[in-house]
Amino acid sequence: MNYSQFKIEDFVSDEYFRQWVLKPDHKNKKFWTEWLERNPSKKNEIEQAKKIVSQFEFNTYRPSQEDLASVWDNITTAINEPTTPTKVVSIQPGGTKSSQWWNKKTVKIAASLVILFISIFLVYPGPDYFLYEKFTTQYSQVETLRLEDNTEVTLGANSVLKKKRAWFSTNPREVWLTGKAYFTVAKQQSVTGEKLNFVVHTDDLQVEVLGTQFSVNTRREKTRVVLTEGKVKLDLEGKEELYMSPGDMVEFSSTEESLKIKKVDPAPYVSWKENKLIFDGSTLREIANQLEDQHGLKITFEDDALQEKKFRGAFEIDKIDVLLEAIGESFDIEVKKEGNEIRMKRK
């Protein structure tokens, strides 16, 4: 998850952040403490978000299925009970009395329904729940999803994919990505026989495809698209349209208004979905960024010259120690690892 892009409302709605505020443990305390050290500019937003979450702690309550079943049992029991009218007398202004006959069964049903509706509200806080579904991964976690149209999505670590709960056969299929994902898009037709587009939205651009395979990465305040098969169209925030062919890599940042296009071997950019890391002349700085995004590691260098050294090799994605040892031997540098912090310096 790229928390550096989060605003106060994003932190408040993030489940891992709320867990840290309401139910802190060693793991989440360590993560957020280290994250704040790396992002001191976010301290005020974090404090405000913590206050909001603490003040509305009740929103985290999730009644169990047994609780909801018990409420429903109360309703059905009340419906089946014999009716016993009750006379209610109230005093009106001027000392006059008025009376009204109430049905105990009606009161019980009404009270139970109120409890039921409150419970449902607490379980599903906000209209987005009914419109969208989210898929989330944590650090070091890669998950493969199959969407309702048979499109396969490999969601990279620390990423979020959001989609509408219902796709209609007359509209494009749309998803929203934060992080990294590899898409194998299934072809689909509308009821009139026209091809339905598949659209991936990021903060910088939207990727529009028909049937193809490609990788999208939204790290480091930019979007990188690498096409392995087929053809896609990029809409660069309404500025221009760009068509990609297999082997094309496009990097675009709407904030910096920078655009890079080049031909690449797609393998190193999509190897993560096979739980591998392939480096083909990557700088140590680029490798450090990838390890931070993938595993939440913080890597520092003794001097800038070390960051520009280029490295080649292939490693299993979870064998970080093997990778670090290889880097140290290749450049005769000392690699020291303490928890999630890694320091590299010359011997």
For the chain, 347 residues long, give each residue's pLDDT as a single digit of tens.
668 778 887 888 787 888 888 888 877 888 888 888 888 888 888 888 888 877 654 443 445 555 555 655 665 565 555 555 545 444 445 444 444 544 555 555 565 566 555 555 454 445 566 678 889 999 989 999 999 989 999 999 999 999 988 787 677 899 999 999 999 999 887 767 778 889 999 988 999 986 789 999 998 889 999 999 998 999 887 678 899 999 999 999 877 778 899 999 999 999 999 889 999 899 999 999 999 988 988 999 988 889 999 999 999 988 899 999 999 999 999 998 888 899 999 88
> Which pTM value belongs to this model?
0.62
Provide long-range contacts, Cβ within 8 A and 24+ apart, for 20-25.
21/50, 21/53, 21/54, 22/53, 22/54, 22/57, 22/60
Q: How far apart are CA 191 and CA 193, in angstroms?
A: 6
Q: Are 346 and 284 in contact (CB under 8 A)?
A: no
Q: How far apart are CA 228 and CA 234, in angstroms?
A: 15
From the list 176, 178, 175, 198, the residue with the least C-alpha distance to 186 is 198
Residue 57 in tokens: 């702690």
pLDDT of 76-91, one tens digit each? 565 555 555 545 444 4
Q: What is the DSSP string of 314-342?
A: EEETT-HHHHHHHHHHHHTEEEEEETTEE
In this structure, what are the phi and psi dihedrals at residue 273, rounded to the nearest 5 degrees? -70, -15
